[in-house]
Amino acid sequence: MGIREIRFCDLTGSEQDVESHELNIDQMRVQIDLAGPEYRKLLQLLQPYIEAGRVDASIPDLRSAARRGGHAPVSTSTGLTVEEREQLRQWAEEKGIEVPSNNRFKRSLVEQWREETKAG
């Protein structure tokens, strides 16, 4: 039996296209669940600061995503799309690999999934 987690936007309460995001500013670590439109709005608001600053991110195209108004081809620090995360979850469950309910996959699991699905 599986358990399904329902994620809702912390700003609007929407359950559509919601993802968890983490912001690190000075000594603060902020975790927030945002729907796609709210996340894109956040990126637009941060754009001048992202452009002026030094970005250390695992998503290689973060600056250009911000320039496009947040329309990034990937949406997580692992670089997975929503569809890829679901595919990874199904693949892991079929193999009996425990996966977190919050979609925060270990990088090693993502790399293993990519290697095995690329070869198959």
How far is the C-alpha of 25 from the C-alpha of 17, rounded, in Å? 25
| Per-residue confidence (pLDDT) for residue 16, from 0 to 100 | 85
Look at residue 14 and give its three-state secondary structure. coil
How far is the C-alpha of 61 from the C-alpha of 14, rounded, in Å? 27
The CATH number assigned to the domain holding 22 equals: 3.30.60.230
Assess whether pLDDT exceeds 50 at residue 73. no
pTM for the full model? 0.46
Task: Say if residue 113 is in the same domain as residue 58.
Answer: no
Task: Say if residue 69 is in the same domain as residue 29.
Answer: yes
DSSP character at residue 68: T
| pLDDT band for position 70 (cuts 50, 70, 90) | very low
In total, how many domains does the chain have?
A: 2
Residues in the chain: 120
Task: Say if residue 80 is in the same domain as residue 58.
Answer: no
| pLDDT band for position 88 (cuts 50, 70, 90) | confident
Task: Say if residue 6 is in the same domain as residue 43.
Answer: yes
Structural domain that includes position 110: 76-120
pLDDT digit string (tens) for 96-105?
988 776 667 7
Task: Say if residue 81 is in the same domain as residue 63.
Answer: no
How far is the C-alpha of 66 from the C-alpha of 48, rounded, in Å? 9
Task: Say if residue 52 is in the same domain as residue 2.
Answer: yes
Task: Say if residue 28 is in the same domain as residue 80.
Answer: no
Residue among 15, 104, 89, 80 at smallest CA distance from 6: 15
